[in-house]
Each structure stands twice: as C-alpha cells, then as structure tokens.
Structure 1
Amino acid sequence: MRRRRTATIAVASVLGMTATLGGCGLTGSSDEVTLKLVAADYGDSSANSSRKYWDKLVKEYEAAHEGVKVDVSVYSWNDVDRKVKDMVAAGDPPDMAQIGAYADYAAKGLLYSADDVLSIPVQGDLVYQLAAAGQVQGVQYGIPFAASTRVLFYNKTLFAKAGIDAPKTWNELAADAQALKAEGVKYPYALPLGPEEAQAETMQWLLSGGGGYTGTTGAYAIDSAENVDTFTWLKDDLVGKGLTGPVAPGRLNRAAAFSAFANGEVGMLNGHPSLMKMAESKGVKFGTVAMPGAEGPSRTSMGVADWMMAFKKNGHAKEIGDFLDFVYSEKNVLGFSREYDLLPVTTSASETMSTAEEDADLKPFLDELPVSELYPVGQTSWAEVSVDIKRRIGQAVSPNGSPTGTLNQIQATASSAQSAE
C-alpha cells in the first residue's frame, strides 16, 4: 500500500533518484527549526507524484507556522526504505520517515513514541487496529499513515459469459474457475505467489481458512493445521486442476496478475483499491466481494498499513508533533486517501468516507477494515520471515511440492528469527 512538513518551507523532492539529505538542525536564525522528512511516492507518474501532495500541504502549514521549515524528500517505494536505512546507518536520520516498516528502529530505541509527539485528540482518532499494529511491547512507535484491505475482484463480463455468480466459498470459487476455464479464460483465478508480494496473497488465503501467520500468543504458527489444510486445498483443488493459468503461481507476481486482470485475461483475483483504476482505464467491468472462505465469506480480511515514525536524534519533538497533528487532520487524511485510493487511518476521516458519495467505490474496502488483520509488523523478525515466505511459498503448490514440508520450513525460519528478537 503502499504513503509532511511545517512552517516556512523548502521542499527537496526526489522521485526515484539518489539524494543525500543532511540531518535536522537549526538553520538560518537561531530560533528557526528545519525538520527533515523522507516520504514514499504513491503516484504512478509525475502527474500524481506524492511530491505534489506534500508541496501543497507544507505550503499551507508553513503559512501558519512562522519559524519552522520542513524539508521533504520523496523516493519511490523501490528506494525509500533503503534510503532511510542508509541515513540511520550514517548517524544522520531524518526527523520523520514515512516508509514501510518501523519495528527495527523502535527496537533500537531510535524513535519517539506516539505519546511523545501526537496530541491526545489526534492519537485517539487513529483507527484502533492500525494503532495497535504500531506497537512494540505495548508502546506505539509506528503511526499508521495509509491503509488498504483486500477483496476478491471478478470480471463481470467473463462471469456473465460463463453464467456464474461471485463465489462465497472455496468450493464455489473452484467451480467458478472451472466454468471460466471451459470458456477459455487464460487465468480463471490468478494466484500470485511470486517473490514480489507472495506474503500478501498467502496471508489472505490463510485468514480465509481460519489460520494466519501468528497464533493468539503472538508466536508464529505458520505450519498450523489450518494453514496446512488451506495450502493443501490450493494445491489439489485449484492449482492441480489447472485453474490458475499458464504461469506457475510461484513465478506469477502481483503486478503481472493485476496487469492481466486489467487486460481482461483474469476471471478472479485478490486485489487492493489501486486495481480499480487500472481496470477502469482499460474498460474492464468488475465487481468486488469479500474473500471466500472454506464455509462462507471470510470473517477476517488482510489489512496493510504504511507507517510514519519520528526519530529522536535531532530532538524537535514539539515541532514534529505540531506538524504531525496537522498532517493527521481530517481534511489532510481525506485528501491523501482520495488522491491515491487508499483507506484513511483516522476514525473521523473513515466516518466521512463511509457516507460520502464520491467515495462509494472505496466502501467495500473500508467495510473490511474493522475485521482486518495486519502483518505482524511489530516484530523485528517479520522482515526475515516475509523474505522467506516470498522465496519458498510457491513450492507448496508446485506439482511435486509439499504444503506441510514448505510450511514447516518457513516456520523453522520464523521460530529462529523470533527467538533472536
């Protein structure tokens, strides 16, 4: 999913290009503060780059806050996490970073807590399960910035041609896929378990089978009986029957699956809000429903959040907090969410979006947010576990693969990584 400023502004914005930022500190007159922010780019072109969002927001903020300057650098998602990591390693972290993960920095004691910087009204307005996912050992360090959920997309034209309805159960999904295959659909169900984002597709299926990555204690439970049953069904009843298309799931990436859906080649797949514009731009008529489960619609959806964090190195907790309170105002949260088809991370903006006619296309995703579960991002081990899932999970549904064996291997990695935290 996944994407701030203060009083008199100079914005340094870099789109996927290399840039080196100095640390925060006092610049100009002795009472002027410059805050550095590194942010991710949610746009897909220069026309809708996040740079434009931040330029406008910072200009408005600075006009009302004399003596504070916010210097923002925007990087592509391919680069932004690495840029921040390099800055921290060099001893020169930004004041704020809006990136994909926070737990490593929190575990090293580098971050302000949300209590340190956010006002009580703003902190209380954060959507509960998103704020909870930002905690490490009961203290919130990750401040959710953008969120999305997943639903099942289906091609209405292909479904009408095959004479089928949107599925509610796994068996109905398999039957629909059989009907679509009989009509010559290239990908009856697109199952992207390739290395780009396999952890997302995997989690959605695990949740729909009553499992997940962790158990009730927070320990990894990747090889649970429920998870093994889920991947056994996928291997035998979907992949093994040729219902996932010509590309092996372990080699199919999300971007390729989304592109194929937008080209009218996919009957069904799990998708997030950005797929809507892709499909609409190609004239694909689509519908969305909750992810089917073993016995009925899944009771839990997968949620994804990107994070804002504040580094302690340069101080400026008061100025950071004042700026973030502005960033998280209802107006600004709604503006960002609407620009990039993402879900708001505050209750006030969510309530507005849930009833606004202009946001009707996002309502199916918004409805899933209260019953969503996020990656275990509060665990520093998650980065290593996620990489292992991307590397191995496709083997579980390959012709000679073993769901039990593959999940056991991933669980071993997860248990080792968790014990090292």
Structure 2
Amino acid sequence: MNTRRWLSGVAVAALFLAGCAGGAKEADPEITAPPTDASGEMTVWLMDGSQPETVVDAVNKKFNEKYPNVKVNVELQQWAGVQDKLTTAMNTAETPDVVEIGNSLTAKFADAGLLADLTASADDFGKADWLPGLIPSGELDGQRFGIPYYAGVRIVMYNKAHFQEAGVEVPKTLDELEQVAAKLSEKKGTKADGYSAFYFPGKFWYGALPFIWSEGGDIAVKDGDNWTGKLDSSESKSGLERLKRLVDTYSTAPTDGNEVQNWEVFQDGDIGMVMDSWWAPGAIVGANKEFAPNLGVFALPGVTADKTAPAFLGGSDLAIPEKSKEKELAAEWVKIITGTEIQTQLAKEGGVIPNNEASFAGHEGNEFLQVADQAAKVSAFTPVSPNWGNVESEAVLPDMLVKIFSGTASIDDATKDANAKIVDLLNG
C-alpha cells in the first residue's frame, strides 16, 4: 500500500462538492440481498495502493461463488483529482456502484446527496464489531452512508539504545513519558546540544489531538443544529500545556514544520522518541538495516496506565452512490470486503489497520503493527461535518499549534482564535 500517497490524498479538501445540492434525508429502507441467480455487471472504484491485488481477487472470487452471473469491474483510481472525478461520476447515470472515499470526506459527499443511505442495513455490515474511532466517519445526522474499510494510526517510535543508556523503560502514562524524556535529555544531551528527547514538529496536528483527547478535551461538539468549539476548554488546554512542555523542553523540530520527514530524521540518531504513522517503522526497517535493531515502538500512553491516549483513525470508507442501479449487489460486495475474513487478509497482506479487532489476527508476528492495533483500540475522530474539509484546508489546527509552540500567542489566545474559526467554518 502506498500509504504516504493515501495520506496526502485524504488531506486534499473536497471543494468540488460545494456546488452539489442535497443533504441528509429520511432513512431509506434496508437493502436486501438479491437472489443468487441475479445477473448483470457492476463497477467498483478503489484507490490505487489501498489494497494488494490478491485481496481484490479474493473478494471477487467469494462474491462470484454466490453470484456467478455478475461481472465485477474493479477500477483503481489515483488520489490526485479523485474528489472532482467522484463528484462528476456520481452525478450521472453511469456512476460506479461502489466507491472508496477518504473517511474525513464521507460526510461531505453524503450532504451533497450523492451517497445511498445504509442506515437500515448497518448491522448487516458488522457495525457491532467496528473500531470505535471508525464509527463516526460514515455517519451524518444519525444516518449511515459509509462503511469503514481500513484505517491508519500514529504511534511512538523510540531508540532502544538510548533508552538502555538512560536506564528507562517504555512509559505507561503521559507523566512517565515526560519523565523518560527528562532522563533521555540528561543522558544524551539537551536541545542546545542538538538532541531531541521528544521530536515534534509544530504543524503536526494529528499528533496533537491525542494529547487533547486524553485529558477529556475535544475540537468541537454538535449542540442541536450548531457546533460549539471545545479547544478553549480547560481539558483541551491541559493537553496542549503538556504537549507544549514537551516541545519547549525536548524537541529540536521546527515549530513551523510538519511531520512528513519524521521517520527519516529519526534515523539520524539524535532523537529519543518521535510520533509517526503506523507504516513508518516498517519503512525504516526496509531502508536502514543498520538502524533497525535500535527501533522500538509503543502506543502513546494516556493519563492513566489502564488506557492509551485516544488516537485519530484516518482511513477510507466504502459507499454506494445514490444513483447506482445495482445497490443490492453492491451491498453484498461491500459486506465481503469489509467482513472479518477479508479484513484479516487485508491486514496481513496490506499492512493496514482493519475495521475490527478480530482481524488484528492478520498482524500476528509483526510487533510494529500489533502496537498500532493497540493504539487503534482507543481511538477518536474529528468533527463529522460536511464542512470539516474547510477546517483542514484553512489549516486552522496547524496554525494554532505553530502559534503556541513558537510563543507568538498564548495557549488561551491561540485556542480562542482557533475555536472561533472552526465554529464559523463548521456552522457555515
């Protein structure tokens, strides 16, 4: 899976949807399975790099065992420009019958009236087993439009040799994380010496969210028809205060930089701990055999030892376009690829986080992915709003963090300003 391409693609705001009419409506009736002698042809749009070909072959084989007279055309799409392409295609009678969508954008497509309502059929897709952090993304105003396909998560990489030299172990709480950073700094050097006990670039908002959530804070919550900002709550500010202490004291990363090169700079040997995407450890092992023995990973701990910090689960949903003529067959295909058997295969062969815990079995023997699974068990999501893409495109959270870490604004002022912008964008 080309995960970095996926991450950059999901980050692109779906501004093309602004002109589409639509919105949530009353729930549609349950989509029932067609008879096994059904015939026809349907088209599936998946993203290039989201899954290996073996997974697609396994899904189609299982589907055709039940529906031998149905031809399935799976077409791989590129992330660049896909939002525009999806919007155009789903507005026509020639729409694909199944589409993969970055899960932070599902609400926007649903609000535009482009996706079929799957609310009555949600239990048939295994909703009871989905990871908690994947449940919100496919919903809008209480209705289900997207089915979780797979996810990604952030974990902490650490230098085993540095930990051994400092006589420290993997922290079990955020307080212990700060204590470990202090001991690493005492042994290996300070920021002034060029050593970073905890490396954290200023714009890394995905990495900042767990600190906010772990203290009980949030970005925003919906109150009736309107969104209320929560970044300036005492809980959110407490999480940001902890992160600022870590950045101010231990991070040599640019306060106006992003996390794209975290996994690369970590290999230079001047970093004790760094947060990065779940695929980064595997990339390091593949690229740097000499450094690999010093690479360790752990899930970011929470305030207490019994619970890790809630992690953001980005990823993809699968949806059925409203104008599809093959909704029933499409639903059966989606049930297969999002079911436990194929999800386990996807986890093993694709190296992603599956949509349910049972499929973590596909990561057996891979310590890096097993830690990612641990992080994914306690997870959360950004505000589910068709306007969330505007918050991302306006870089509200990165800008807030840069102000906080650079000292150009206090936490009180930065969160108050970000709150106002987010509320305005979400309620707009």
In the superposition, the TM-score normalised over structure 1's length comes to 0.77
Residue 335 of structure 2 corresponds to which residue in structure 1? 325
Q: Which runs of 5+ in 1 are unaligned?
A: 4-15, 17-30, 44-48
Q: Distance in 1 between matches of 2:86 and 2:201?
A: 29
Is the 1:199–1:386 Cα contact (8 Å) retained in structure 2? no
- After superposition, the Cα gap between the structure-2 partners of 1:292 and 1:349, relative to the gap in structure 1 and judged at 3 Å, is closer
Is the 2:278–2:369 Cα contact (8 Å) retained in structure 1? yes
Residue by residue over 1:108-127, the C-alpha shift from the partner in whole angstroms, topping out at 9 and shown as x without a partner, is 22212234666726444434
Q: Distance in 1 between matches of 2:89 and 2:207?
A: 32
Q: Distance in 2 between matches of 1:386 and 1:297?
A: 32
Residue 392 of structure 2 corresponds to which residue in structure 1? 386
Q: Which of 295, 298, 301 is matched with 1:289 structurally?
A: 298
How many matched pairs?
378
Larger RCO (CA under 8 A, 6+ residues apart): 2
CA RMSD of aligned residues (A): 3.3
Give the partner amino acid of 2:324: N
- After superposition, the Cα gap between the structure-2 partners of 1:297 and 1:211, relative to the gap in structure 1 and judged at 3 Å, is farther
Residue 312 of structure 2 corresponds to which residue in structure 1? 303
Residue 272 of structure 2 corresponds to which residue in structure 1? 267
Residue by residue over 1:150-174, the C-alpha shift from the partner in whole angstroms, topping out at 9 and shown as x without a partner, is 3322111222233333333253154
Pairwise CA distance, 1:259? 1.8
Residue 419 of structure 2 corresponds to which residue in structure 1? 411
Q: Secondary structure at the match of 1:152?
A: strand
Q: Which runs of 5+ in 2 are unaligned?
A: 4-8, 10-37
**Structure 2 matches for 1:223-372, cutoff 5 A?**
223-235=232-244, 237-241=245-249, 243-245=250-252, 247-251=253-257, 253-281=258-286, 282-283=288-289, 284=292, 285-293=294-302, 299-304=308-313, 305-350=315-360, 352-353=361-362, 357-358=364-365, 360-372=367-379
- After superposition, the Cα gap between the structure-2 partners of 1:256 and 1:90, relative to the gap in structure 1 and judged at 3 Å, is farther
Is the 1:35–1:71 Cα contact (8 Å) retained in structure 2? yes
Q: Distance in 1 between matches of 2:95 and 2:113?
A: 13
Q: Which of 115, 118, 129 is matched with 1:114 structurally?
A: 118
- After superposition, the Cα gap between the structure-2 partners of 1:85 and 1:176, relative to the gap in structure 1 and judged at 3 Å, is farther
Residue 206 of structure 2 corresponds to which residue in structure 1? 200
Q: Which moved more, 1:122-131 or 1:409-418?
A: 122-131
Q: Distance in 2 between matches of 1:333 and 1:99?
A: 17
- After superposition, the Cα gap between the structure-2 partners of 1:113 and 1:192, relative to the gap in structure 1 and judged at 3 Å, is farther
- After superposition, the Cα gap between the structure-2 partners of 1:102 and 1:296, relative to the gap in structure 1 and judged at 3 Å, is same
Pairwise CA distance, 1:391? 4.2
Q: Secondary structure at the match of 2:261?
A: helix
- After superposition, the Cα gap between the structure-2 partners of 1:250 and 1:34, relative to the gap in structure 1 and judged at 3 Å, is farther
Residue 12 of structure 2 corresponds to which residue in structure 1? none
Residue 19 of structure 1 corresponds to which residue in structure 2? none
Residue 214 of structure 1 corresponds to which residue in structure 2? 220
Pairwise CA distance, 1:360? 5.0
Q: Distance in 1 between matches of 2:273 and 2:221?
A: 29
Residue 36 of structure 1 corresponds to which residue in structure 2? 43
Give the partner amino acid of 1:37: V
- After superposition, the Cα gap between the structure-2 partners of 1:234 and 1:199, relative to the gap in structure 1 and judged at 3 Å, is closer
- After superposition, the Cα gap between the structure-2 partners of 1:70 and 1:392, relative to the gap in structure 1 and judged at 3 Å, is farther
